[in-house]
Amino acid sequence: MADEPISPIQPEAERIFAAKKAWHQKQAQLPIKEKVRIMLKMQRDDYPILLRRGVLRSWEKPWDTEP
C-alpha cells in the first residue's frame, strides 16, 4: 500500500486553520468591554455596505450608542 502524495495546498491550509484557531482562542479571552467595542466598530464599518442594498431590516441597523 503506497502512501498518498500530500497536496501542495494541504500544509498551507493546515497553517491557515491553525492560525485561525489561535486567533479565535485569543478573541475568546478578551474582556467583555473589548468584545462589545469590536462588535460596535464592525457595525459602523458594515453599515454603509448594508445601506447600499436598500432598506435595512431592524436587526441590520447599528445600535445607537452615542449620547
pLDDT, tens digit, 9 for 90 and up, residues 3-32: 676 677 888 899 999 999 999 999 999 999
CA distances from 14 to 3, 53, 55 (A): 19, 36, 40
Statement: the pTM of the whole predicted model exceeds 0.85: no
Q: Is residue 20 part of a domain?
A: no
For residue 28, give the nearest of 38, 17, 16, 18 by alpha carbon.
Answer: 38
Parent domain of 46: 26-54
39 or 67, higher pLDDT: 39
Residue range 37-63: average pLDDT? 85
Q: Is residue 31 part of a domain?
A: yes
Q: Is residue 62 part of a domain?
A: no
3-state secondary structure 20-65: HHHHHHHHHCCCHHHHHHHHHHHHHHHHHHHHHCCCCCHHHCCCCC
Q: Cα–Cα distance between 32 and 51 in angstroms, integer?
A: 28
Q: Is residue 9 part of a domain?
A: no
Task: Reply yes or no on whether the pLDDT at 2 is more than 70.
Answer: no
Cell numbers found for residue 20: 485561525
Q: How many distinct structural domains can be found in the chain?
A: 1
Determine the pLDDT at residue 67: 59
Task: Reply yes or no on whether the pLDDT at 1 is more than 60.
Answer: no
